Chains A and B, each alone.
Chain A
Amino acid sequence: MKILVPVDNPIFEGNVCVSFARAPYFLIYDEANQEKKFIKNSAADSQGGAGIKAGQLVIDSGASVLLTPRIGENAAQVIKSAGIKIYKTIGESIEKSLQAYLNNELAELDDVHPGFHGHH
């Protein structure tokens, strides 16, 4: 199973990004072989609709789980429609949140914010 995390930099020792759709990179962690892959988030610099595009990227990446500190309503709608589960990260460290998820310690994220359309 693949787990996707929005991150600030393409390094595993780095931090989870505070934003989902505007995160510069996504980490894709493959639980089966512990492989870590970073992809550039091409939605990050969209003028509008970043949440929808980032959501599409998550679906196309083949991930079945998203770990993020927050998410906008459009992104959440796309991702949930695909049956992908969204969990809320804890703290800044990528590694800690990932480990917490693998230990079943993360809660599902249900406080979806209305987005920051036009306020960047």
Chain B
Amino acid sequence: MKIAVLSGKGGTGKTLMAVNLASAALTSVYVDCDVEEPNGHLFFKPQQKSERTITVKIPYVLTNLCDGSRRCVDFCRFHALAYVNNKLMVFEDICHSCGGCSLVCPNHAIKEKDKAIGIISRGLSENVEVLSGFLNPGEVSGMPIIKGLLDEARQIDKLTIIDCPPGSACPVMESIRDADFCLLVAEPTIFGTHNLNMVHELVNVFNKPFAVILNKCGNGENPAKTYCLERNIPIIAEIPYDQQIADISSNGHILVRENNTYHKLFSTILFDVQARLKS
């Protein structure tokens, strides 16, 4: 079973939920798809780590074959190529690795080479296999790393918790594509509710079963809860805005490994998701 944890905005508690759900299971895989800011590893501190580099293809020119047709320059919608003084200039940081330039070149003057954009790290933290993606700063897209992470996770036959990037754009869509169930984490603010609305629309487009975890719940109004109640969206848990949770987390510890109450809380969420998937 694969559970994706997502939210429209950052800072709602995706990683807190994902790390603790993975830890509450008997055995599991935790996949950190937030490759621009991966931080699940800070809690898990995985051991026996192995790393592999993720690359994309970028073009280079065989100058002797180039006759200046400029078909590649005209084709590139990202404008990563310029033709100056009878020579092709390649802007590697702008290239989106679509491969189009090498296809349209009538003289086959454009070849492709590998460019490293980040790494995937795999390690073990007690009962959890930890897979984290790290995108190098400044790269145009983390998608190849997210794809690599999920390919690797697919090889491991265990409960899989996917910690998604924030937002509702392509990297999130890629992260939830394989998920059997989506958990939407929301905080009790108007901004939080707006972003809950965005991911709610997204999981509907993907036709995924889902439920909401309301995080940072206090005594005051909770517009995110109102949003759920008005639309009959299942609320799977309400996590309090709690000093102890903040203390444990900000010290880099995992709630369910520190305290039985939390272990029970997150186990219950896992059972609940399983029950919803069976029914």
Contacts and interface: CB of A to CB of B under 8 A. Distances in A.
Interface of A: 43, 46-50, 52-53, 55-56, 59, 74, 77-78, 81-83
A22 B263 CA distance: 55
Given A49-B94, A56-B84, A83-B85, 8 more contacts: A46-B79, A47-B78, A55-B82, A56-B83, A74-B91, A74-B94, A78-B82, A82-B85
B94 A52 contact: yes
B246 interface: no
Given A56-B73, A78-B89, A81-B89, A48 B82 contact: no
Interface string B69-90: 0000100111111111100010
Interface of B is mostly: loop
B78 A49 contact: yes
A48 B78 CA distance: 6
26 contacts: A46-B79, A47-B77, A47-B78, A48-B78, A48-B79, A49-B94, A50-B79, A52-B82, A52-B91, A52-B94, A53-B79, A55-B82, A56-B73, A56-B79, A56-B83, A56-B84, A59-B82, A59-B84, A74-B91, A74-B94, A78-B84, A78-B89, A81-B84, A81-B89, A82-B85, A83-B85
A3 B73 CA distance: 24
Contacts of A50: 79
Given A49-B78, A53-B79, A56-B73, A82 B84 contact: yes
A89 B91 CA distance: 27
A50 to B, nearest CB: 7
A49 B89 contact: no
